[in-house]
Amino acid sequence: MKEMLKKIPSVDLVFNDIQIKEFPLDTNSKLTVIKNTLDQVRQDIFKNKFDDSSSINFIELILNNLFNHKNKLTRVINGTGTIIHTNLGRSVIPKIVLQNIVSSNLGYSNLEYNLKTGKRGDREQFISDALSELVGCEAACIVNNNAAAVFITLNSLLKNKKIIVSRGEMVEIGGSFRIPEIIKHSGVKMVEIGSTNKTHLNDFTNLIEVDEKIRGILKVHTSNYKIEGFTSNVSIDKLSQLKNDNLILIEDQGSGTLIDFSKYTNTEKEETVQNSIKNGADLVLFSGDKLLGGVQAGFILGKKILIDKIKKHQLFRTFRVNKIVLSAVETILNIYKDESRAIKEIPTIRMICEKAVDVEKRVDNFIKRITNKNLKVTKIRTTSTVGGGSMPQSKIESFGIELMVIELGENKIFEYLKSYAIPIISIIKNKKNIIDFKTVLDHDEEILERCLNEWKII
Ligand SMILES: *Cc1c(COP(=O)(O)O)cnc(C)c1O
């Protein structure tokens, strides 16, 4: 019995096992589970429940117990190659953003306290200032997501008025968010214009001339589709020629980027927020966790007089973001002040810009580290996508691994990977099980390696 008790590992040793170290649970809860499990084993040994303690797999036992305590919302490894994956939390939050959320919120904060005057302050002035500096707008405000941005903008500025939307831009995005529905609920009357494939400037001119209730034009980014072939639509700079004191030009950019990606990759062109402002949009709306690469939020920026009106609206408070989001957004916008930092530190941007040869190098290095003889791991070419309703046509050349396990079909492999302590989401394509390394982060690799090397196939 003494010999058996001696084989029980120390709490420290177990805690530092990578699967347990990386297990998505706070340290104190983890330590409690480890101590309780080891105590239980000790008692079972006293009760002569084991013949031989060397057969006990302590890590497995603890992991099983940890699973019962696991948060339901948990980190996963994205092996799908879709960068802004709607089901996997859209953009990965940059590490420094997470660190700053902690440091700014460890105690009270000056959320609505002006440290200069010692009086009440504006909780989001710094966001307006940062965006003005970055994109040259007069002012900006922030709400919970871009859907909210569209709603509150229309409801506070154009209720009971009419707005023109091109038929080619009647977007439905995931989760059945439909532009025409949102417009209806905001109390604004939508006037459709043009045809599915073509809308011309004089379609707008003709309508505006005859209907004085028209007070706005909404241009919507066709996020998740492209109309190809015999097409035309009217750009923001052309539409801005139609503006007058009674007509607001709003652009819902959806993904909204501050970076001109054509400088770094050959993905399809996305108009930047700063260009829309420069080309005459009165207001531009976009998401915080699509191409911006931050957290869920919706930005409204443009003319100060309009932003002030939106912020004064009674409903604005129901859409306002919390202090955690505010500190995240402040950090993100600060990163953008130096574009070279954005490319390195914002995972979404880094992944879009990472060259295929660099992904290939990561794959080659990874494969060398897999020693499990039960698996066959081979390098494979993949096509990654941006996802999240951004750059719908962009196919990014990339690399990944194909996993083959003796006597296991692709679905079994998929299930095994998904049931790992940190679930690994692979893809099945042509009956092959593939992990696309485009979306495998540096700190995911060690876990993946461990998962594959320790896989005992029975
Ligand atoms: C994604 C998107 C939205 C909604 O943005 P959320 O941040 O998901 O609320 C609205 N409009 C367009 C064009 C979009 O692409």
Q: What φ, ψ does residue 399 adopt, rounded to 5°?
A: -135, 155
For the Cβ of 298 lying below 6 angstroms from any atom of ligand 1, the answer is: yes
Atom of ligand 1 nearest to the CA of 223: 15
Q: Whose CA is nearest to atom 11 of ligand 1?
A: 254
Q: Whose CA is nearest to atom 6 of ligand 1?
A: 146
Q: Is 252 in the pocket of ligand 1 (CB under 6 A)?
A: yes
Binding site membership of 310 for ligand 1 (Cβ less than 6 Å): no
173 lines ligand 1 (CB under 6 A): yes
What is the mean pLDDT of the segment spanning 425-433?
A: 96
Confidence of residue 248 (pLDDT cuts 50, 70, 90): very high
Mean pLDDT of 190-216: 89
Look at the block and give the residue holding tokens 């396990």. 405
| pLDDT tens-digit series, residues 253-307 | 999 999 999 889 887 778 899 999 999 999 999 999 999 999 999 999 999 999 9
Residue from 50, 127, 73 nearest 300 by CA: 127
Residue 232: pLDDT band (50, 70, 90) is confident
Span 377-414, pLDDT tens digits:
999 999 999 988 777 778 899 999 999 998 899 999 99
Residue nearest to atom 13 of ligand 1 (CA): 254
Q: How close is the Cα of 388 to the center of ligand 1, in Å? A: 9
Cα(427) to ligand 1 centroid in Å equals: 26
Q: What is the Å distance from ligand 1's center to 35 Cα?
A: 46
The pLDDT of residue 428: 97
Give 296-320 pLDDT, tens digit per residue: 999 999 999 999 999 999 999 999 9
Q: Name the residue of 84, 154, 177 whose CB sits within 8 Å of the most ligand 1 atoms, as the mutation to test its pocket.
A: 177
- Cα separation values, 95 from 63, 98, 181, Å: 26, 5, 37
User: Per-residue pLDDT for 53 more than 80?
Assistant: no
Residue 150 C-alpha to ligand 1 middle, in angstroms? Answer: 9
Please give the residue that has the higher pLDDT: either 223 or 100.
Answer: 100
pLDDT range class, residue 158, cuts 50, 70, 90? very high
- The secondary structure of the chain, three-state, reads CHHHHHCCCCHHHHHCCHHHHCCCCCHHHHHHHHHHHHHHHHHHHHCCCCCCHHHCCHHHHHHHHHHHHCCCCCCCEECCCECCEHHHCECCCCHHHHHHHHHHCCCCCCCCECCCCCCECCCCHHHHHHHHHHHCCCEEEEECCHHHHHHHHHHHHHCCCEEEEEHHHCCEECCCEEHHHHHHHCCCEEEEECCCCECCHHHHHHHHHHCCCEEEEEEECCCCCCCCCCCECCCHHHHHHHCCCCCEEEEEEECCECCCHHHCCCCCCCCEHHHHHHCCCCEEEEECCCCCCCCCCEEEEECHHHHHHHHHCHHHHHHCCCHHHHHHHHHHHHHHCCHHHHHHHCHHHHHHHCCHHHHHHHHHHHHHCCCCCCEEEEEEEEEEECECCECCCCCEEEEEEEEEECCECHHHHHHHHHCCCCCEECEEECCEEEEEHHHCCHHHHHHHHHHHHCCCCC
Residues 69-119 pLDDT 10s: 877 899 999 999 999 999 999 999 999 999 999 999 999 999 999 999 999
Task: Please state, in angstroms and as integers, the Cα–Cα distance from residue 54 to each residue in 58, 103, 367, following that order.
Answer: 9, 44, 31
389 lines ligand 1 (CB under 6 A): yes
Q: Ligand 1: which residue has its CA nearest to atom 15? A: 254
pTM score = 0.89
**285 vs 170 pLDDT, higher one:** 285
